[in-house]
């Protein structure tokens, strides 16, 4: 499924990706379109889209086996699983054990060369490990997150599984290089990508 521009804008609205938290880290102000006092903030959709494309370009410099995606948000299980399966990358879903990138004795030891986190606050242990081994970090970042050590920010609502799903779906669309990947993402409906386990 290829989004037309108007469809993509509507998806950012419907899936809540543009809705940020009430609190605002001033370092993220450049990504904000509007603030609703005492309620929430609204991200600039154009900048979300630009950053997803930048993230894809950055990830294309690495072999897929060298990419690790970390997510702890239960409602994002299906999109995370589908993205990892389609893109053939490693994933740590749920609790991340500190040392999983630095202690080779761990059962689930990872050796990534680039890290993707869906929430810089919830995934702080993974970020600390990535810092120790000096690898770049891409982070889906809400308005109330700290951005320490995040090399590339994808601004967006990271508290909602559908929002994470849309971001990963669009990232997969930008990343797809082989005919198999392009065909797979072309056939997948966004609604299915975020709601059920898919066979690719």
Block means of pLDDT (10 residues each) for the chain, length 200 residues?
74 95 91 89 96 98 98 97 97 96 94 98 98 98 96 97 97 94 92 94
CATH topology for 5-188?
Rossmann fold (3.40.50)
Global pTM? 0.95
Return the pLDDT at 1: 57
Question: Which CA distances in Å does 62 have to 35, 39, 120?
Answer: 37, 40, 22
The rounded distance, in Å, linking the Cα atoms of 169 and 163 is 10
Return the pLDDT at 2: 58
Return the pLDDT at 39: 86
Return the pLDDT at 7: 86
The rounded distance, in Å, linking the Cα atoms of 94 and 72 is 4
Q: Tokens in use for 90?
A: 């490693």
Please report the sign of the dihedral spanned by the C-alpha atoms of residue 150, residue 154, residue 155, residue 157: negative
Q: Tokens in use for 180?
A: 């198999």
Return the pLDDT at 38: 80
């Amino acid at each position: 499924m290829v989004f037309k521009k108007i469809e993509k804008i509507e998806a950012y609205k419907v899936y809540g990706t543009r809705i940020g938290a009430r609190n605002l880290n001033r370092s993220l102000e450049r990504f904000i379109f509007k603030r609703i006092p005492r309620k929430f903030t609204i991200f600039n959709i154009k900048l979300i889209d630009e950053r997803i494309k930048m993230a894809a370009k950055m990830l294309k410099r690495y072999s897929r086996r060298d990419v690790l995606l970390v997510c702890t948000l239960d409602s994002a299980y299906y999109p995370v699983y589908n993205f990892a399966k389609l893109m053939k990358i490693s994933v740590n879903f749920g609790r991340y054990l500190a040392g999983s990138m630095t202690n080779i004795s761990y059962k689930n030891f990872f050796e990534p060369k680039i890290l993707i986190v869906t929430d810089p606050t919830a995934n702080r242990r993974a970020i600390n490990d990535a810092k120790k081994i000096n690898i770049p970090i891409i982070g889906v970042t809400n308005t109330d997150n700290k951005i320490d050590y995040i090399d590339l920010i994808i601004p967006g609502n990271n508290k909602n599984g559908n929002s994470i799903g849309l971001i990963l779906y669009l990232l997969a669309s930008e990343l797809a290089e082989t005919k198999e990947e392009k065909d797979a993402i072309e056939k997948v409906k966004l609604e299915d990508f975020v709601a059920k386990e898919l066979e690719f």
